[in-house]
Structure 1
């Protein structure tokens, strides 16, 4: 029994000494830049709150109006990223991010019917702001096209999923905003506004 254990330990030691650094195909293909663009905004509080609130707002507007944001918002992300890279546009200060979240929360809490043109303009402007903010993670060796593609895909997926969930839950085409589902969505808007207010206070305090 002891000899068998010694043999296993010796074999394991020999195997460990032969281990080399892994060279995965995803690194050599530079697809890591795509995943960096897709994952970075999902790990940032400002992006998560703004994207989720915008998707929820699109869902409360109904499918006919909300589906435009699925296209407009990713285009805004790419435009903001391109502006930040080419023209050196600096990202918005933290107080502007907080004000954006506060406004989105208040719009959700008030359950206002926003015209489609204004809704698309808001989505594009928010996309430009958040795209410029995500440009801060670009490195000289980063493939900007892959990074932009990952960022746009993440924006598309988040807005689509949140809008679909909101449409399924809220049912804006068949139920009035005064029912319990509409009240729940407005309560979430109040929480979003509270997050924006807290972020504004922290940014002013610092």
Structure 2
């Protein structure tokens, strides 16, 4: 079956008319799909999996500012520095994450980060943000959520839930594959999907 899935994890960039326009373009190409799916269909599961990661000591709440996070992350040639919040007790991170969900933190004041390796040569593995606070109405979920998962966290989870075996994407996502693999491994999916990259072909 051919399913169409929309990544609607960022409420600042989503409108129902965008969905309609994409579907019209796909119809124009002559394609037909059986089901339409959305990342937001799985927000409840994603939240529970984030809680699971915190309980495993694989994620933590951080109150570093955006500028501090960039500074601590390092560069392509310099390793990152440890986030002081990475040693936060598990129970404290769990409570903060619950409070984030309850709307007790303003935008930009708190994030949830994966606890991986700040010295990794792959900058995507340096404790990436997996949840952020955004007090915005969602085009499908309304005001149910004020925290939203980041794409690199949501995408492998969606693939695993839907039973995708191979996630095919272009080469710019090659450096993101280790994070994709980390998410499906640490979330303990029994039949994890694989990400495979290919070169783009430009048509004129």
* TM-score range normalised by the length of the shorter chain: under 0.3
Of the two, which has the highest radius of gyration?
1
Higher strand share: 2
Structure number with greater CO (CA < 8 Å, separation at least 6) is: 1
Q: TM-score, normalised on structure 1?
A: 0.26
Q: TM-score, normalised on structure 2?
A: 0.26
